[in-house]
Structure 1
Amino acid sequence: MRILTYISSFIFLLLVLTSCSGKQYQTLFEQKTANTDTTSRKTTGDLSAYRIKPQDLLQIRNLQNISYVVDAPQTGNGTSVGGGGAIQTYQVDEDGSVALPVIGHVAVAGLTRSQAAKLVEDLYRKNLLKDPIIELKITNLKVTMLGEITGQGNFPLIKDKTTLVEMIGQAGGLTKNANETNIKIIRGDQSNPQITVINLRDVSSINDPRAILQSGDIIYIAQNKRSIRNENLQNITSIAQPVLLLINTALLIISFSHR
């Protein structure tokens, strides 16, 4: 019976340990420690330096006319969404040009967003509009958020110099299991990916130029040590519980048979 008591106590203790999850504290931006990464220390690029490519989607509008680029938008590559005050998008063709109302095909591949906006503005000023103010955005650029983040998935990258902290906010913030000292930004092609590790406990990470996001970035938030430890313990318990239950049952049968 004494052995049975010990076995039963062990099982109870194991179940208690696996059911407990300690409180997680997200102590962001406190420790002023150096960030670690596997890339060079040079400043990374940002969205303002992005060069337009074929298949990109451009949102173009004349701020002097909030409805459309021109008064009577024409059909073509431009796609009108909704009614008055609609936003139109235009896809860049394989030859690097985009078809716009009235002025026709405009070569934009290889230009930055601001360069393309100025080019379109000058063409409309020359051919049609008086003092146009052209706003141009690239709407298909995105980053991917994975790991211990409230909202995983793809998020559009519209604003120049969008930071890691801003994107985490858009995704709903970190989960309680996140390791805020180990946030990886993965960029580059598959054959030569570059990984930057950002420590959000470091207040300097707010202004870290390496944390300015680029289109195609994958952001991965790892689990903290406590979460990993609890998960491993749960995995061990899920395997051990059936065995312990069989042992406990066998001991009970043996105990009753010797009475």
Structure 2
Amino acid sequence: MGGLIKSAGTLAGAGAAVLLAACQPALDPVMPAGSAGYAALAASAGPGAEQAAGPYRLGAGDTIAVRVYEEPELTVEEIALDNGGVVSLPLIGDVAAAGLTATQLARTIEDAYRANYLRDPRVSVIIREGSERTIAVEGEVEQPGVFPFVEGQTLLSALALARSPTETAKLDEVMVFRTIGANRQAARFDVQAIRGGRAPDLALQPGDLVVVGYSSLRGAYQDFVRAIPVLGIFRPY
């Protein structure tokens, strides 16, 4: 009889698990996942984006100087990137600067002046003051919050800053949201695959938002376990 009770309880638990799994809302299928997710965020960073630590990349709030050789009327000694990472310059107007190095921005400005105004422009960009860089981690982590960004920071290191995912985290539904200029991108990643070496760790950028999903199946199981106060004592369920 005890075996029958145990089997019935196991079947009931399994049935509840299946129902819970079926009730979990599906993610938006438009959000890229896996290799497509890496490609989407890499593309959003624009030409020259790298997946590893490298030179300083400009972001919203940075203050720069733009000097055009032998063109003093085009030289700007101090200008800040706006909230969208854009800088407005004489004649050529708005230039998307976020995500670029100072050298890359200088080449971009040269191309813009060469296209319509100057025969052989030579431009240098100097970073006068960098703004504070942060990333944010939300969702099913032990300590959500906003953390300072450092070069070389990755998805796994960001989760470590947030004291790792909780017991109810859905590790294959970790979303990263990224804004470059006027473009808003998002992708889904499998942290278990990254930890197991089956997928590369994602290099983060300043301003990235990491959101760890919630597993209702794990949450229901944790609630069930906590509802049994003493080991070895049967209670109604």
Place the TM-score, normalised by the shorter chain, in its bin.
0.3 to 0.5
TM-score, length basis structure 2: 0.43
* Structure ID, larger Rg: 1
Larger RCO, structures 1/2 (Cα 8 Å, 6+ apart): 1
